[in-house]
Amino acid sequence: MTGKTHAVMGASVGIAISSKIPGELSIIAVIILIISSLLPDIDHPKSIFNKYILPVKNKMVKVSVYGGIGTILIVFNIFYRNIPELMVIGMVLIIVAFSSHRMGFTHSILGMIVFAFIVNYRALQYNNIYLVYYFIIGYSTHIIGDMCTNRGVPLFYPLKGKNIKFPFTFRVGSNNGKFIEDIIVIISILYIAYRFPMLLKLK
């Protein structure tokens, strides 16, 4: 699915079920919904996410940027700090550097748990443990969305096996695929517009 579809789907689902989960919907929660629904594609050099992070959008640059930052974080942490979470972030960046799109880590349950662990750590520091729920909602809508496509996702990575997908799927970029994604985007935007008065009151 395209980044645009993932973002509006994550935001609308999160807004729709916000009253059912602990912790109030806030502006930060909406931002987290959007970021987390785009995050799994961080392993793709041309994804929306990397549009703003990578200076040049190719594999080599992706490996160098994420691998470099990850290594610096780990070395810095070993010599100057001793924060387990920093270690985890460094390791995740290195995994992201080397994992290819849809082939691994970021589109798996394991990836979601590891990222949620990092978000939870930050949320605890800001005294807002509920933000992690919104993170999980955004992230899982991305994975579920990609399960609707013919390539599926390696849900149980690092266990090897076929990618997991729904019985009825579409191919991203095909006419059917574009039509289905357009429908998702329109419904999501209509729903967000419908809830707009409530969103304006968010803090």
Site string for Zn ion, 139-158 (x = CB under 5 A): -------x------------
**Residue selected from 41, 62, 105, 141 as contacting Zn ion according to rule CB under 5 A:** 41
Judge residue 117's burial from the number of C-beta atoms within 10 Å of its C-beta, 0-12 exposed, 13-18 middle, 19 or more buried. middle
| Closest CB to Zn ion among residues 25, 142 | 142
> Between the CA of residue 101 and those of 44, 125, 151, what are the distances in Å?
5, 32, 11
| Closest CB to Zn ion among residues 146, 181 | 146
CB 136 within 8 A of CB 22: no
| Closest CB to Zn ion among residues 18, 47 | 47
Query: What residues from 86 to 115 belong to the interface with Zn ion (CB under 5 A)?
Result: none
> From the CB of residue 86, how many other CB atoms can be counted at a distance below 10 Å?
18
* Integer Cα distance of 103 and 119 in angstroms: 23
CB 138 within 8 A of CB 37: yes
Query: What's the min distance (Å) between Cβ of 44 and Zn ion?
Result: 7
Stretch that binds Zn ion, among 11-19, 32-40, 162-170, 190-198 (CB under 5 A): 32-40
**Chain positions contacting Zn ion, by CB under 5 A:** 40-41, 146
